[in-house]
Amino acid sequence: GAGVSQSPSNKVTEKGKDVELRCDPISGHTALYWYRQSLGQGLEFLIYFQGNSAPDKSGLPSDRFSAERTGGSVSTLTIQRTQQEDSAVYLCASSSSSGRTDTQYFGPGTRLTVL
Amino acid sequence: KQEVTQIPAALSVPEGENLVLNCSFTDSAIYNLQWFRQDPGKGLTSLLLIQSSQREQTSGRLNASLDKSSGRSTLYIAASQPGDSATYLCAVANTPLVFGKGTRLSVIA
């Protein structure tokens, strides 16, 4: 079956512009996660959705970052007024259960470059 | 705050060797530990998940062990192949999932 998909695969933007990153989880997966992977760093948790609700937003680095999920499916991560330090690979994952301890299935990521 | 460390950061071995990747974590109150593989420019592929009550999991040539009390896990790869070349990531499930920085493995034919 189809895995997690993300779009775009690559995004180059100018400092100060807003960007939207999209994630389509595996059909039927209730949990959805966003992570960021910066050069030389590990994966950094950003936000977790259960259905359309986000019980854990603790990883969002600033109020320029926001995310939403609609219909318990597609999620969008929005970064406003992008900065060069936002350059990273943004990864989305989904899992089938309401617990946070089951296997997470990852998408291929969106590589964001802020000039 | 949970911290996950992976040693070594990079490893190069000849084809056919057995090898061990190490992962350590500072907070033993975890739900499970997961090993992932990441290929260049790709997302993560789950390899093994060990629940906190388990000691090890096996899948093919891979075997992962977990010692919660000492905060350690190892990933054993038997009879390595060039196709095993990738970055291997360890992640512990507290709230949220906390990742190590990975071990970059190169298997030379």
Can you tell me the distance from the alpha carbon of A41 to that of B1, in angstroms, rounded to the nearest whole number? 17
pLDDT tens over chain B, length 109 residues: 889 999 999 999 999 999 999 999 999 888 899 999 999 878 889 999 999 999 999 999 999 999 999 999 999 999 999 999 999 999 998 767 899 999 999 999 9
Helix (H, G, I), strand (E, B) or coil at B70: coil
Q: For A64-84, how does the pLDDT look when each residue is reduced to its tens digit (9 = 90+)?
A: 999 999 988 999 999 999 999
Can you tell me the distance from the alpha carbon of B56 to that of A58, in angstroms, rounded to the nearest whole number? 31
Residue in B43, B51, B101 nearest the CB of A42: B101
Find, among A16, A29, A14, A18, the residue nearest to A92 by Cα.
A29
Burial of B35: CB neighbours in 10 Å, binned 0-12, 13-18, 19+: buried
Please tell me the predicted confidence (pLDDT) of residue B42. Answer: 81
- Is the minimum CB–CB distance between B24 and chain A shorter than 8 Å? no
CB contact under 8 A, B100 and A42: yes
Average pLDDT over residues A38-51: 88
Please tell me the predicted confidence (pLDDT) of residue B96. Answer: 75
**Measured between beta carbons, which residues in chain B are less than 8 angstroms from residue A42?**
4, 89, 99-102
Task: Return the biggest CA–CA distance within chain A.
Answer: 39
**Measured between beta carbons, which residues in chain B are less than 8 angstroms from residue A105?**
46
E-strand ranges in chain A read 5-7, 10-13, 19-24, 31-37, 43-50, 53-56, 65-69, 75-79, 88-95, 105-106, 110-114
* DSSP string for residues in A67-93: EEE-TTS-EEEEE-S--GGG-EEEEEE
Find, among B16, B56, B42, B101, the residue nearest to A9 by Cα.
B42
Side chain identity at B94, as an amino acid letter? N
Side chain identity at A95, as an amino acid letter? S
**Measured between beta carbons, which residues in chain B are less than 8 angstroms from residue A7?**
none
Mean pLDDT score across all residues of chain A:
92
**Measured between beta carbons, which residues in chain B are less than 8 angstroms from residue A106?**
36, 43-46
B6 neighbors B101 (Cβ within 8 angstroms): yes
Chains A, B: CB contacts within 8 A come to 58
Distance from CA of A35 to the nearest CA of B (A): 10
Strand order in the sheet with A19-24: A5-7, A19-24, A75-79, A65-69
Helix (H, G, I), strand (E, B) or coil at B60: coil
